[in-house]
């Protein structure tokens, strides 16, 4: 990283990472480092908002990040929020509404991500507009009215206390997932006996491989690239990526069972990452069930590393109402 001396905080853009040295009233100096949120507040690496007196500033510097690596930079809570927003943007619910800062997402029966509450705002519970017990009751009523299982998608560790509260109230863990990230470099696709194509659309054959007809409208709602792998004329592998805020969000990677273990998944992922790199995208994110150790090992071998996890908590009373997929 490089340092640039700024004479006055007025010249620093909101959102910049800064280091500020203050005159200590008892002599000497003290330092603050964080992301500028206003002319006299910054948020440190712990996510705490700190006010400061501009009149007591001795030295003020902007920390210029030379590189923006996946999974690095801002405090963890802010990085988690960024990635969860990317995942929501690239897998958009049919309807969404703000409840305070909580995001209530509703789409139908086939996907939990697009049919769940994403808590947002300050820990420990995010920032709903009501006391936490009243807010949870509102969520239950909202999703039961839509004929859906009331579900929270809880990023951890940011909202660990919310997860614990729901657990204590009888909400059960339906799925736990890893969010993994990677920096994208140029990908040289290895020679393969299979044929690969990349398209901006999909057809019924693509949907049928994983029985994805139920999420077709969600996929059409946001621009994406679709990978298809063929053995002759037979479709044997698929995958999708969408771009948002400088990230490539991978999803729906699937290989016909009889062709697993033959490098098809690796071919799909590398092709999508290569297409993203050519589009100027340098970072990638994906989500995978924490129990799917085979997929986690594959993604790790391709340069992905664990960033955070999230858990879907479902209201037990209506748990058997419908069946939903995690993403």
Domain ranges of the chain: 2-64, 76-181+310-318, 185-281
Are the folds of 2-64 and 185-281 the same? no
Identify the pLDDT of residue 318.
Answer: 55
* 89-102 confidence digits (pLDDT tens): 999 999 999 999 99
Identify the pLDDT of residue 312.
Answer: 97
Please give the average pLDDT of every successive group of 10 residues along the chain, which has 327 residues: 40 75 74 83 79 82 66 82 95 95 90 92 96 97 94 96 96 96 80 92 97 92 97 97 97 97 95 93 96 95 94 78 48
Q: What is the 3-state secondary structure (H, E, C) of 216-235?
A: HHHHHCCCCEEEEEEECCEE
State the fold for domain 185-281: Aminopeptidase (3.40.630)
Could you confirm whether domain 2-64 is CATH 2.30.30.520? yes
Tokens 């509703």: give the residue. 106
* 285-321 confidence digits (pLDDT tens): 999 999 999 999 999 999 999 999 999 999 977 544 4
Torsion sign across C-alpha atoms 209, 114, 123, 70 = positive
Spatial contact of 219 and 199, defined as CB atoms under 8 Å apart: no
Identify the pLDDT of residue 6.
Answer: 38
Exposed e or buried b per residue across 279-288, where buried means at least 16 C-beta atoms within 10 angstroms of its C-beta: eebbbbbbbb
CA distances from 287 to 208, 220, 252, 272, 292 (A): 22, 20, 10, 15, 11
Spatial contact of 315 and 140, defined as CB atoms under 8 Å apart: yes
Provide the pairing of β-strand 41-43 with 29-38: antiparallel
pTM of the entire predicted model: 0.76
């Amino acid at each position: 990283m490089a340092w640039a001396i700024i004479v006055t905080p007025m010249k620093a853009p909101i959102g910049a990472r800064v280091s500020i040295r203050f005159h200590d009233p008892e002599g000497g100096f003290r330092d603050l480092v964080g992301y500028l949120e206003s002319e006299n507040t910054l948020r440190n690496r712990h996510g705490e908002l700190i006010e400061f007196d501009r009149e007591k500033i001795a030295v003020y510097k902007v920390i210029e990040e030379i590189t923006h690596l996946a999974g690095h930079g801002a405090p963890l809570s802010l990085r988690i929020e960024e990635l969860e927003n990317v995942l929501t943007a690239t897998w958009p619910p049919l309807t969404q509404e703000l409840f305070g800062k909580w995001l209530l997402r509703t789409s139908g029966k086939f996907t939990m991500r697009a049919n769940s509450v994403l808590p947002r705002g300050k820990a420990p519970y995010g920032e709903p507009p009501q006391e936490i017990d009243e807010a949870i009751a509102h969520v239950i009523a909202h999703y039961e009215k839509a004929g859906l299982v009331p579900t929270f998608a809880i990023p951890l560790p940011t909202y660990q206390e919310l997860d614990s509260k729901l657990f204590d109230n009888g909400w059960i863990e339906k799925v736990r997932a890893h969010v993994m990230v990677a920096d994208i470099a140029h990908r040289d696709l290895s020679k393969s006996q299979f044929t690969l194509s990349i398209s901006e659309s999909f057809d019924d054959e693509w949907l049928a491989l994983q029985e994805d007809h139920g999420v077709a409208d969600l996929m059409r709602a946001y621009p994406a690239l679709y990978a298809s792998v063929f053995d002759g004329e037979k479709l044997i592998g698929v995958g999708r990526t969408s771009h948002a805020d400088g990230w490539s969000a991978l999803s729906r990677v699937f290989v016909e069972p009889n062709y697993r273990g033959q490098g098809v998944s690796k071919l799909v992922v590398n092709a999508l990452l290569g297409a993203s790199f050519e589009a100027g995208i340098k970072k990638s994110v994906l989500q995978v069930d924490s129990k799917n150790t085979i997929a986690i090992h594959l993604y790790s071998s391709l340069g992905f590393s664990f960033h955070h996890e999230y858990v879907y908590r479902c209201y037990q009373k209506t748990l058997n109402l419908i069946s939903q997929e995690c993403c």
